[in-house]
Each structure stands twice: as structure tokens, then as C-alpha cells.
Structure 1
Amino acid sequence: MNNIVVKEDVNLPALPNTVLPAISELTAALGIPRDALASHEEIEYAWRDLPRELREIPSELRGELIARMCVAVSVGLFDGAMNYIWNAAILQLRQKIRNFSLAVVAQIQQNDFEEKHLRDLQDSRLLGLCLKLNIIDEDGFFFLDQCREVRNNFSAAHPTMGTVNDREFTTFLNRCVRYALADSSSPKGVEISAFISAIKGARFIDNQRQIWVQRLTSTHDAQRQLLVNMAHAVYCDSATAEPARLNAIDLCNGLSTAFTSSIKADLINTHCEYIAKGLEEKHTASLQFFERLGLLGLLDESEQHVIFSRAINRLWDVHNGMNNFHNEPPFAERLLELSHQGAVPETIQDSFVQTIVCCRIGNGYGVSNAAVCYYDELIKGFSPREVTDLILAAKDRTSNLGRRIAGVGSCKRNFKTVLNLIDTASVPNLVRADYDNFVR
């Protein structure tokens, strides 16, 4: 259940009747033009707009700097007010990095990163680090970086290039609030050493798996990408114990629906490196990794061919072996799961079709009843090209399917059942007449 954030209205007092006249008296006493400072109208409009922006700041973040900003606005010192709100934003971004964990930042940066490093970080580099950690998004980085430039050139922090009016100040305030102060929460980093220790430890129990999936979900995109790649490497390492491999795949399964294009690209790049370097064991394990996550569609057709070919051959071997009626179901189910991940490669379609239908119509002694539901679903999903392969193979007396249909009565009867599973709209004209003959 999502927490509902209730925003508190901020009711500022009306500007005292003495404030604006006092500004005029002050400029007159100093002998400077009144328009050297913000006009009465600008001050009134800026003061009027303040509550709307202050309402977006959580109450725990409305501290001394926010109070000073309000005082500066009340007398038209927009350059000073900009400096106060900017400092409040920077302090909050630093706190968010602390919440993320300085130790994890050090792991990501591959450099020491302690409190002193955080305090000494220039504002521009701080914004860059916040973007990397997903504490701010690309929009936030863009607008806050603009604010940094404005603050450096138009605020009281440095000799100014000019002045800002009430509307420019309010825009500046809005961006600091929206992208740094409005949300007091922040992603928490995952300690990499603890992550690896957990994966390589004992087999996960459900609660443990859920905790780690949640941690990876809560961290920033770049670290999640790094950790998924690490889990892939653990899974593909032949020296990895089976519990660790299962832990790795469980974590990735829990995250796979949220894999970004960058995560997928990284996995494919690593997979291709295994091929390029001739690391056959890792390559085979990586194929299994993609298969178990339902990501076969990311691989090229030749690799998909290898996976389908192995699954088809194993089903065929089991079908022709001892106790085939008992042993077929898990192999049929696996082939069905593979087919759900994408179209069967054209290079293996004929073998795919014949194996499924031969198993479905049986061998003269019967069929594997427990596997029929998988075969039927596969057959219902045949494409027009696969239907064509089916009819042509059935006509060919030299094919496995053709011999069974021609030589075994039960197979011929079962074949009619198979044809009735196919939507007639999927039967191409090329084989329509032969299809009708078989059905009759």
C-alpha cells in the first residue's frame, strides 16, 4: 500500500506595513536610486508565491536556511535568497548520498569516498554523482545545473553579473525544491561484498530472496545493472556451486520484468565475449541463463537454433526410450516454455513440427497422456509456415511422421485430432487440398 504524503499549507505573515517604506527610506538615506533594489511590486509578488513552494518542502527540511531565505525575500534581496535555498538543496543532496551509503559509493567509484570527500565535492561534481546514483534524474540534473550557473553568476555568493527579478527567483526556487528538497527519500545502495556473499552462501529461503530482490529494486539503475551482470557471471562460472547458481537465477528472475535496455545490452555483450574467447562452458551456461529468464529473443537466430535443437532432440530421445509415457511431460513442457519466448527459428521448424506431432499421435502403443496438453497447446500455436511443414511431412512416406500415419491406424486417427486443433485460417492455400484430404 502506498503511503499518502500530506502536504502542509505554509501560512506566512503579511509583510509589515513598515518593511517596504523602510526600504525606500534606506535607499534615500544612502543616496542611491530606489530601483537599485527590488521594487515593492516584485517583493509583494515573490512573497505571495513563497507559500506554494514552501508547501512542497517536507517540514523536517524547513530549517534555518529556509527561514533566512524568507527574510531575504521579504526585503527584496533575491540574490541572497537564491544563495540560501541553493545551500539548502546542496546539503540535502549530500544527505541523500550519505543515505545511499558512502561505502557503496566508494565501491562504485572504485576510489576512497568518505565524509571529507563528500564535503569537499564541488557542486558540479556533486550533481554528476547524484545523477550516477539515480538520486536525481536527467531532468533534475539539467535544471539544477542551470541553477548552479545562475547561483554562481547572479547570487550573493559571488560578485554578480546582474540582478534577478521576482519571477526569475521563483523559478530558481521551484527547481531547487522540485529536484532536491521536495522528496526527502533516496535510493539505498547495495553493498557489493554483502551481495556476493549472499549469492554464494546457502540456498535462499523465500524471505531472503524477496529481501535481496527488494534491495536491488530500490537501488539506482547503474548499480542494478552492475549487480545483474555479476549474478550472470556467477551463474556462468563452472566453479560456482549449484546453490549459488540457483540463487543468482532467482534474483534475476525477480528483476527480469524490470530489466532496462542497458541491462539487456550488458548481458548480451558478456554472452558474446564468452563466444569470442572460446569459453564453451560459460557460453553454454549463459544460454541456459537467457532461456530460464525468458530472454531467448535477445539472442541471434543461430543461438536460438542451438537451444531449440537441444530441447527437440531430448524430447525425441525420451519419446523413443524406455518409459516414454512417464518421462515425456517435463520435456514437452520445456519445449512449450521455449516457444513462448519467441518464434521458432526457421532452421529448426521442420524438426520442431515433426517431433511434436509424432509424439502427439503416439507410436502405436499409445501416447503420453500427461504430455498431451503441452503438445496440443504447441500445435494450436503453429504458424502458417509450420502448418505447411506439417502437411508436407505427413504426405512424405519417408519422414518419421509420414511413416507413422501410413503404417499405424491409431496414429492416423490421432493425426485427424491434431489437424482439428489447427485454425483453418492458418492453413495456406498451398496445402489446403492435402489438409482437406487428411481431415476427411
Structure 2
Amino acid sequence: MSSELIAKPGTGVLSTDTTKFEGYLSYLGLPTENIIASLPERQIIEKNLPTFIDSLPAEVKRDARYLSKFVAGATIGLFDASLNYVWNEVVLNLREKVVVYGLDMFFDAAVGGGRRELYSTEEDLSGLKDNTLINTCRKLELISDVVYTKLNHILTMRNDIGASHPNSYSINAFELLGWLQTCVQDILNDKPSASAIQIKSFLENLKRSTDVLDEATIHSMERPLNDLSLQNTDNLLNSIFGIYTADSTGNVVRKNIALFAPHIWNKSSDNVKYKLGVTLDGYKNNLHNEKHALGIEFFTFCDGNRYQSLDSRIISLDGHADDLLEARYAWDNFYNEPPHMRKILSYLKTENDIPLERVHKLIKTVLICRVGKGIPYNTGVSPAGRPLYDQFFGMLGDQNIINTVIAMHSNEVRVNLDNKYCQQHMVSVLTLLRANARSERIQEIIDFLIANQTILHKVHNDKRYRDLTKNHISFG
């Protein structure tokens, strides 16, 4: 007679009486409450588990050691241990998906700031929390939003009631079977989305490129990129920034990124742009000078300087204002002013982009250039610089309109306002400001100045003007 044990539904293999085992725990002086699932719960597992296992392909079952451990835990009623075995397999599987997708792209999305440089290899994946792993997989569309929600719930339950933490709650059989089904069908047998595969292929081809892309190729690349979700577009921008600033990236790859990155930048969210600004700051603070310089290049050709951190913008704008003022008083200022003004405007798309810490300096510097030198040639103002200066003044609101009027009274500006050319240019600025002014009193102030343009250099001595401006300007 054969002594082989054959497990069949209804034989009670999983619902074996565990009284002796619990007695042994008592003998050892160990707790027995909420350790082993009750007999009815184990019977539910016994009845339903074979059907689920039978539904799995043979190639899935062949190497599924985690399922063997799951069954072993369920056999004696250790449901929380069974959950742990399955979850560990989920984590390993997600890490495998990450390796296939690309570690650099994954770590770019998962780790921010100065910590990014600490993560580069497959072994570094173990340094990420499970929550970070599944959340980043969702962002990269390695798993769907629905699957992420399910996994997040399972992770929460595992952490709260699983074998990994002390607890007094017992997992019931139907919960355990449902979680097993989610993990096996939605993760262990699942593939990344088409978008994730598309991005992976795109970045791999980019890093291997040896020729500069022509315009037709760039346009053909832009069309499928337009169909990406906002999250994937953000991830792509984050990745190409990392590639551009990497030490190992060649000049051709950087040139190609510079050609199509502005398109991706314009399709991305403000959130990822500000995060890249923080990353740029991190390069500077950690003395990664080459990376910082490359990051500045990236922000410049994407027209994204306004997304740099406040401290960086303050420092940069301060330097550009100094350069503009130096150009104003130097030889060939008509040609040398515009490049510096363009750099200033690259940080400013709206009035809110002007740092309060540098608003007065910027207004005064730009006004000095806009009022000009008071000479007949080009009426004293750089022809290429004039529209740039007007663009700056055109974005100002009431408070900065007053700041501009205050700058007009500064010695550096006022000294030129007895010149007819400078008066005309000052009136042009005031007319621009008048169009933006909301306050009736500020409108009155500007109207008074325009009407008295011939005395702008000494209008601050006029009692009517002092009365009109007493709520806005204090004259010493």
C-alpha cells in the first residue's frame, strides 16, 4: 500500500486540529490568543484556495515558492505570516519591474534633492520604503491607479495587523484570499503600461543617439509625447534633466535634449519645475559646480529661470542688474544692454516673479536704462533694449508703479530729467504704468507727472504734488 499523502478538497489538510500546538505554546508559557486562525477560517481557505491555484498558469506556479510558503502558513492558521510572504514577493516583483524600466529614471522620480546621488544600483532599491516603491511605480505607470490603491490598502493592513508588527486583530480568510488574488493577478502576472514602455524606449534611444536630430525628427517625436499623461510628462522632464546634467552624457545627447526639452517643459506641471529648481539649488550647495552650470543651461533653454528657488533668483537677478547697469555706463551700451535685460526677463513672466528683496534695485536699474543718456542718437536709448524695458514696466501693478515713481525721484534718474529726450522717455514709461494702474489716486499722480513733464527733475518740490502723493511717498 502506498504511503503517499494526496490532498483533496474536503480532506481537512488545512483545517487540521491545532489544539496540540496551542497546548505546546501554553507549555512554553507563550501567548495563544490571536496566534492561529480559527478552524472555520481555515476551512474557508481550504475550500477556496485550490480553485484559485488551479487558475494560475503552470509556468507561474512552477517557481512560486512564495505560494508554497503561503500555503504552509495557512495550514497552521498563521494568516498574517502568509500575508507577509505574498507581500515580500510583490516587493521583489516591483523591484524587477523597476530594473527593466530603468534605475536612473526610477530614482529620478523616487528620490529628490541631495539624496538622489546616493541611489544608483539595484541594491539601492532596498533602501526605499515600500510606500515609496509603490507610489513611484504608480507615477511611472508601472502599475495603475486602481492597483496602487489596492496595494496601498494591503500595505497598510500588513503594517498594522501583519506578522511584521505586534497586533491584536485577526485577519479573516476572505480578506487573505482577496489580497492574495490582488497581488498575484494585478502585480505578479502584470506588465507595465504602454506609456511606461514608450518612455523607457524613448530615453534609451536618446542616450544612444550619435547624431544631432533634424527638425522633422523632432516634430515626429513631439506628436506621441503630446499624448502622455501629465504625470508621465513630468517624469520624462525629470529624467531628461538628470540625463542632461549627468557627467557621463555626451555633447550630442545634450544638444538633442536642448532641441526638444522646451516642448516637454511647456507640457509639464509647475510642480515638477519648482522641484527641479530645488535640485538645481542642491547642486550648488553641494559644490557640484559642473552639474549646476549644466542645470542653469537647461533652465535657460527651456525659458524656465522663474522656477529656480528664491535664493537662486535673488542672487542671479542681483548679478544681472549689476551687469546691466555696468553696460549702461560703458562703451557701446546700445548693443551691450539688451543681452543682460533678456537674462533678467528670463526670470520674470509676471510681476509676482520679481523677488521683493530686489524689486527696488531692478526697477531703478531698468529705469536708468529706459530714460537713456539724453543724446540725439537713437534719442539716447538702446533700440533693441527699449521693447525689453517696456515689457518689464508693462507687468507692474500699483505698488511697483509707486516704486517706479520713487525711483524716478532718485538722484541717478532725476539728474537726467531736465533733458528733453529723457523727459520724453520718462513720459513713455508713465504712460505704460497709467494703463495698468487700478487706484484712482495713483492714476491722478501719473496724470499730474505727465502734465508737468518739463519739471520732472524738480516736481518733488511742488506742493500740489506732495499733497497728491502724501499717502504713497515720503519726501525727506
TM-score, scaled to structure 1:
0.54
- Counterpart CA distance in 1 for 2:234 and 2:399 is 45
- 1:80, 1:240 → 2: CA distance? 58
Residues 41-87 of structure 1: per-residue CA shift (max 9 Å, x gap): 89679989x9xxx9xxx9999x8699xx9xx99xx968387777766
Decide whether the 8 Å contact of 1:333 with 1:374 is kept in 2. yes
How far apart, CA to CA, are the structure 2 residues paired with 1:235 and 1:249?
19
Q: Specify the code of the residue in structure 2 equivalent to 1:414.
A: S
Determine the structure 1 residue equivalent to 2:258.
246
Specify the alignment match of 1:340 in structure 2: 349
1:134 maps to what in 2? 136
Match of 1:147 in 2: 158
Q: Residue 391 of structure 1: which of 391, 396, 405 is its match?
A: 405
Aligned partner (choices 372, 382, 389) of residue 396 of structure 2: 382
Aligned partners of 1:354 and 1:390 also within 8 Å: no
Matching residue of 2:220: 207
Partner of 1:14: none
> Which residue, out of 248, 259, 281, partners 1:268?
281
Q: Distance in 2 between matches of 1:150 and 1:44?
A: 20
| In structure 2, C-alpha distance between the alignment counterparts of 1:136 and 1:78, rounded to whole Å | 35
Flag the 1:197–1:175 CA change in 2: closer, same or farther, 3 A: same
Deviation at 1:231, TM superposition (A): 1.4
Q: For the Cα contact (< 8 Å) 1:384–1:427, is it kept in 2?
A: no
Question: What is the distance in 1 between the residues matched to 2:278 and 2:191?
Answer: 30
Counterparts of 2:41 and 2:445, CA distance in 1 = 88
Q: Structure 2: how far apart are the matches of 1:82 and 1:290?
A: 50
- Once residues 215 and 293 of structure 1 are traced to their aligned partners in structure 2, the CA distance between those partners, rounded to angstroms, is 21
Other-structure match for 2:417: 403
Deviation at 1:387, TM superposition (A): 2.6
Instruction: Give the counterpart of 1:229 among 242, 246, 263.
Output: 242
In 2, Cα distance between equivalents of 1:296 and 1:127: 29
Q: Is the 8 A contact 2:341 2:388 kept in 1?
A: yes
Identity of aligned residues (%): 10
Give 2:314's aligned residue: 301
- In the aligned structure 2, how far is the partner of 1:417 from the partner of 1:37? 82
Give the match for residue 172 of structure 2: 168
CA distance in 2, matches of 1:351, 1:285: 29
Match of 2:208 in 1: 197
Are positions 1:349 and 2:358 aligned together? Answer: no
Measured in 2, the distance between the counterparts of 1:425 and 1:217 equals 42
Check 1:235–1:87 CA distance in 2 against 1; reply closer, same or farther (3 A cut): closer
CA drift at 1:209? 6.0
1:153 & 1:245 partners in 2: Cα distance?
A: 46
- Cα shift readout 1:248-278 (whole Å, capped 9, x = no counterpart): 854873656452776443321113445x86x
2:104–2:120 CA contact under 8 A, matched in 1: yes
Matches within 5 A, 1:63-102: 79=77, 94-102=92-100
> Secondary structure of 1:338's partner?
coil
Distance 2:365 2:77 in 1: 76
Give 1:404 shift. 6.9
Instruction: Write the deviation string for residues 236-257 of structure 1: whole angstroms up to 9, x where unpaired.
Output: 99x7797256248548736564
- Report the AA paired with residue 296 of structure 1: Q
1:421 lines up with 2:470 in the alignment:
no
Q: Structure 1, unaligned stretches of length 5 or more?
A: 1-18, 155-160
Equivalent residue number for residue 7 of structure 1: none
Counterpart of 1:203, as a letter, is L
For 1:240 and 1:45, the matched residues in 2 are separated by: 59
Cα distance change of structure 1 residues 424 and 410 upon mapping to structure 2, 3 Å threshold: same
Q: CA deviation at 1:285?
A: 5.6
Q: Is the CA contact (8 Å cut-off) linking 2:81 and 2:162 kept in structure 1?
A: yes
> Which structure 2 segments of 5+ residues have no match?
1-8, 23-35, 108-118, 140-147, 452-476
CA shift for structure 1 position 423 = 0.6
Conservation of the 8 A alpha-carbon contact between 2:244 and 2:298: no
Please report how far the alpha carbon of residue 99 of structure 1 lies from its aligned counterpart in structure 2 after TM superposition: 3.9
Q: Does 1:437 align with 2:448?
A: yes
Equivalenced residues, count: 373
Q: Retained in 1: the 8 A contact 2:407–2:413?
A: yes
Question: How far is the alpha carbon of 1:334 from its aligned partner?
Answer: 6.2
Measured against aligned partners, the alpha-carbon deviations of 1:206-244 in whole angstroms (never above 9, x if no partner) come to 3346778969965997x986753341356999x779725
Q: Tell me the TM-score normalized by structure 2.
A: 0.51
Distance 2:183 2:44 in 1: 26
Q: Separation in 1 of the partners of 2:181 and 2:172?
A: 14
Shift of 1:151: 6.6
Superposition pairs for residues 275-314 of structure 1, below 5 Å? 286-291=295-300, 292-294=303-305, 295-298=307-310, 299=312, 301-310=314-323
SS of 1:259's partner is: helix
Q: Deviations over 1:1-46 (max 9, x none)?
A: xxxxxxxxxxxxxxxxxx99x86xx989x9999xx97455896799
**Aligned runs of 1:358-377 on 2, under 5 Å?**
376-377=390-391
The residue correspondences of 1:108-123 to structure 2 (distance < 5 A) are: none
Task: Give the match's secondary structure for 2:439.
Answer: helix
Shift in Å, 1:424 = 4.7
- Whether the 8 Å contact between 1:308 and 1:338 is mirrored in structure 2 is no
Q: Distance in 2 between the 1:106 and 1:373 partners? A: 43
Q: 1:265 to 1:193 in 2, by over 3 A?
A: same
Relative distance call for 1:403 and 1:373 in structure 2 (3 A) is closer
